[in-house]
Amino acid sequence: MAFCKNCGTQIPDGTELCQNCANQGAANNFQNAANNVVNDFTNPTDETGAFDPADIEATKIMSLFAYLGILFLIPLLACKDSAFARFHANQGIVLFIFGIIGGVVAVIPFLGWILSGAVGIFSLVLTIMGIINACQGKAKRLPLIGKITILK
């Protein structure tokens, strides 16, 4: 007979943790993931210091277009050499793709509609946050999607 290494409950031979501890672990992982998203909102990763202030000043207005759907092309084409515009264009593209996925899942009745609605609301919030960040000349990573890099 074996015992759970974590809590000492008797468990079948060949296993290390009891079901109780395994469930607890899964709940903790979910809790951590939820905390990370909340933390992204309240305390976003701010990389503004890594950009040239002159570049930010020159491109921040163009950069806000990155978050308006296909208009992410404007900062990409108009400010080709700007790292700051590229930072926002990258987030805009990821947000754009995220929105397309939200639209596609809407073909699935009920669950897809709910998911699509949730993606739509989340996208709208991120769009507003992105535009505000760009206007303020900040290079802040958006919650969840901001960690994805498509444009190097």
Rounded Cα gap, residues 9 and 16, in angstroms:
11
6 Rama class: left (phi>0) / alpha (psi -120 to 50) / beta: alpha
Residue 21 binds Zn ion (CB under 5 A): yes
Q: Report the residue number, 28 or 45, with the smaller CB distance to Zn ion.
A: 28
Of 2, 3, 7, 50, which one interacts with Zn ion (CB under 5 A)? 7
Q: Report the residue number, 6 or 48, with the smaller CB distance to Zn ion.
A: 6
Tell me the closest approach of the beta carbon of residue 14 to Zn ion, in angstroms: 15
Residue 34 binds Zn ion (CB under 5 A): no
Tell me the closest approach of the beta carbon of residue 63 to Zn ion, in angstroms: 51
Q: Are strands 2-3 and 10-11 parallel, antiparallel or unpaired?
A: antiparallel
Angle between helices 83-104 and 53-63 (to 10 degrees): 30
Tell me the closest approach of the beta carbon of residue 33 to Zn ion, in angstroms: 22
Helix (H, G, I), strand (E, B) or coil at 35: helix
Residue 4 binds Zn ion (CB under 5 A): yes
